[in-house]
Structure 1
Amino acid sequence: MTMTRLAAGFGLCALMCACAVAPPEPIAASPMVAPGTIPAIPAVRGPSYESKSARKYYTRIEKEQVARGLMRVDGGGPDVPYDADDLSRNFERVALFNEYTQIGGRFVAAQTAAQLRRWEGPVRIALHFGPSLPEAQQARDKTLVQNYIKRLARVTGHPISLVSNPKRANYHVFVVSVDEQRNLGPLIKAVEPKLGAATIKEMTSLTRNNFCAVYASSTRSAPYVYASAIALIRTEHPDLMRDACYHEEIAQGLGLANDSPKARPSIFNDDEEFAFLTSHDERLLSILYDPRLRPGMTPDQARPIVARLASERAPSGSI
C-alpha cells in the first residue's frame, strides 16, 4: 500500500505551521471493509491531564489567531485578489509537490516534486465520533460536514458523499480526543487492514502540535490514484478550529496535498489566515478534477494544461 501523509495540520512555529503532505504508500486494493469488522471507538476514563491540557492549549491558540485577524471565514475578498497566473503557480505548488516523504514507515518533512494524485472512483466518507464529543456537537458537526461535502462534489464534479454505514466508506474521518486517539490502532487496522504498523503507530501518537492530519492510500497497480484515506481531528478543539480542520483535511485528502506560503487566499497555506475553503481553493479543486489532467502527470507535463485551465477559471476582472 502506498500511504501519503497529506497534512500535519496547524503545527505551531512562530505562527502556526498548518497542514502538509507526503507521497502515498500503496496497498493491496481493498478500500471496502468486510461486514462486521469495524469496532466502535472505545470509551476511556478521563479526560486525562494530557487531554485537558490540549483543550486549554487549543482554546488559547484559537483566541490568539482570531485576535490577530487570522482564521478568517469569509472565503477571501477584494483585499486578496488573484489571477490566472496565481492559480497556475499555486496549483503546481499545492497539487504537484509533497511536503512529507516516508522513511521507515514514518513521515519526515521534505519538499519534493510529485506527480498528480486524485481519486478516480467515488469518494464515500464516514464520520467516526469518539464518545468525548457530546451528541449535540456530533449532530452539529455532521451537518457541517454534510454541507461541505456537497460543496466539494459540486466544485469538483466528482462523486463525493457522506455515508452512514462505515463499511461502505473508503474515506474515514476520526473525530477523537487524544485519549481515544491513543487506543485507535485496532479501529484503524479494521478500516485499512494493509496499513503498516509504523504508520498506525504514528497516527495514534501524534502530539498536540499536530492539530489534525490526513493520510491517503493508493494501490500498487495505480500508485497515483487514491483508493482510501484516513483523517484525524481532535475533539479538544474549539468549534472554529475543529471546523477548519474538517475543511482542510477533507480537501487535502482529495489530492491538494501540499501547502504553499504564496497561496492566497487559501487554506493551503501555513499562515492560517483562512479557516474555511476559499473561492481560490474551489478553483484549485476544479482544476485538479478536470478530465484534461490525468493521475501520474509530472509538473512539466501538467504545467501547460494547468495554465489553460487557470485562464478559464480566473475571476472575472482579473488580469
Structure 2
Amino acid sequence: MTAFVPSSPALRITLLALAVLTCLPDTAAMAAAGELPAVSSRQRAEKKSFTDGEIIEGFLKTAFGAEYHLAGRVDRIRKFDGPVRVFAESDRADRKTQLAKVVADIGRRVRHLDIAMIDTNEAANVRVKLVRDRDLYRTITSFYGAEKAREIRTSLDPQCLSGFRKNDDFEIEHSDVILTVDNGDFVFLDCAYEELLQSLGPINDTASVPWTMFNDNVSMGYFDVYDQYILNLLYDPRIKAGMTVAEVKAVLPDVLKDVRAWVKRVNDLKE
C-alpha cells in the first residue's frame, strides 16, 4: 500500500503534513543496563517545572500549523478520534522491539490515548516503514511521488519523516512514519519518539520553544515531561478535532489543570 491512498471512495485526503528530524550524530553506544548515556544525561538535566503560559505556548505552536504541508488548511486541531494501531514494516527485529517499547511508553504517559502495536498492516492506522539510510529518498519517492520527494529533499533534507491525512472533520485517518535503522540507537530513538508523536497531531516544529522535541535544535531520545503536557492536552476529550485557536483557548485552563495532575502522577513529580 502506498501512502495517502484512501481506504474507501468516501475518504477524501484533505491534508498531508510532514515533520522531519534533521541529521544527528550517533554519539553513544548501549550501556550495560540497557540505557543510552546520551539519553540518561538528558534526563538528568531535564527541566520539569513549567508555568501555565510556557505549556500553553508550546501547545498552540505545535498543534496548529505544519512545518511542511502540501495541501489543506492547518488552522484547526488535528488528532485521531479513536484507537491508534501501529504496524512496523521491517525485517529488523531489534528495531521493531525498540519501536514497540516507544509505543508502549507513549501509551502509558498519554492518559486518553489508546495506542498499541498490531501485527497486520490491514488493521493499522499508523504505518511505520523502517529503512536503511541509503533507501530513505527512494522510500519517500514511493510514498509521495518524485516531484514532492524532490521538494521535501530540497527544503528539509530529512533523516526521518512523518505525515498524516485527515478527513473533513480534521480527524486523522491515517499516518505514515519513515525511520532509518542504521544511524545508531540514539538517532533511531530520537526519530521514533518525535515522528510517532507528530504523526498523532502536533505536526508543527517550532524553533522558539526550547523544551520540546518538536524543535529541530533539540534532541531527546525519550518522551520528556514538556511534550507529555502537549500530547495530554491534545488528547483530552475536551480538545476536539476541528477546534480553532479561540475555541481551544476557551477550554485550556480547565484542561490544563487536569493534565498537570496526570503528568505529575505518571512521572512522580514533586511540587
TM-score interval, smaller chain: 0.7 to 0.9
- Say whether 1:161 aligns with 2:122: no
Q: Is the 1:176–1:233 Cα contact (8 Å) retained in structure 2? A: yes
CA–CA separation in structure 1 for the residues paired with 2:103 and 2:252: 24
Could you report, residue by residue, the CA deviation over 1:85-105 in whole angstroms, capped at 9, with x for unpaired residues? 2111111111123222326x9
Q: Is the 1:264–1:280 Cα contact (8 Å) retained in structure 2? A: no
Aligned CA distance change for structure 1 residues 9 and 261 (closer, same or farther; 3 Å): same
- Say whether 1:302 aligns with 2:248: yes
1:94 is matched with 62
- By percentage of residues, which structure has more strand? 1
Amino acid of the structure 2 residue aligned with 1:10:
T
1:29-40 equivalent positions in 2, closer than 5 A = none
Q: How high is the TM-score relative to the length of structure 2?
A: 0.76
Amino acid of the structure 1 residue aligned with 2:131:
V
- Say whether 1:114 aligns with 2:95: no
Aligned CA distance change for structure 1 residues 95 and 146 (closer, same or farther; 3 Å): same
Aligned CA distance change for structure 1 residues 113 and 170 (closer, same or farther; 3 Å): closer
Larger of the two Rg values belongs to structure: 1
CA–CA separation in structure 2 for the residues paired with 1:78 and 1:197: 40
1:8 is matched with 20
Aligned CA distance change for structure 1 residues 185 and 249 (closer, same or farther; 3 Å): closer
TM-aligned CA deviation for residue 249 of structure 1: 0.2
Q: How high is the TM-score relative to the length of structure 1?
A: 0.65
Given candidates 69, 88, 100, the residue that maps to 1:127 is: 88
Q: Is the 2:87–2:117 Cα contact (8 Å) retained in structure 1? A: yes
Amino acid of the structure 1 residue aligned with 2:15:
M
Amino acid of the structure 1 residue aligned with 2:149:
E
- Say whether 1:143 aligns with 2:90: no
Aligned CA distance change for structure 1 residues 123 and 301 (closer, same or farther; 3 Å): same
Aligned CA distance change for structure 1 residues 278 and 182 (closer, same or farther; 3 Å): closer
Report the 3-state secondary structure (helix = DSSP H, G, I; strand = E; otherwise coil) of the residue aligned with 1:97.
Answer: coil
CA–CA separation in structure 1 for the residues paired with 2:186 and 2:93: 15
Q: Is the 1:184–1:204 Cα contact (8 Å) retained in structure 2? A: no
Amino acid of the structure 2 residue aligned with 1:161:
A
Amino acid of the structure 2 residue aligned with 1:202:
A
Q: Comparing both chains, which one has the higher relative contact order based on Cα–Cα distances under 8 Å and sequence gaps of 6 or more?
A: 1
Question: What is the number of residues matched between the two proteins?
Answer: 241
Gaps of 5+ in 2: 1-12, 29-36
CA–CA separation in structure 1 for the residues paired with 2:80 and 2:57: 22
Aligned CA distance change for structure 1 residues 157 and 80 (closer, same or farther; 3 Å): closer
Gaps of 5+ in 1: 12-57, 65-69, 106-111, 132-137, 189-195
Report the 3-state secondary structure (helix = DSSP H, G, I; strand = E; otherwise coil) of the residue aligned with 2:178.
Answer: strand
Q: Is the 1:113–1:299 Cα contact (8 Å) retained in structure 2? A: no
Could you report, residue by residue, the CA deviation over 1:206-250 in whole angstroms, capped at 9, with x for unpaired residues? 47931111010113x43x100001111113311110111000000
Could you report, residue by residue, the CA deviation over 1:136-164 in whole angstroms, capped at 9, with x for unpaired residues? xx222222221221222231422211111
Q: Is the 2:58–2:212 Cα contact (8 Å) retained in structure 1? A: no
1:234 is matched with 180
TM-aligned CA deviation for residue 77 of structure 1: 5.1
Report the 3-state secondary structure (helix = DSSP H, G, I; strand = E; otherwise coil) of the residue aligned with 2:15.
Answer: strand
CA–CA separation in structure 2 for the residues paired with 1:270 and 1:261: 7
Greater alpha carbon shift after TM alignment, 80-89 vs 275-284: 80-89
Aligned CA distance change for structure 1 residues 214 and 304 (closer, same or farther; 3 Å): same
CA–CA separation in structure 1 for the residues paired with 2:38 and 2:250: 33
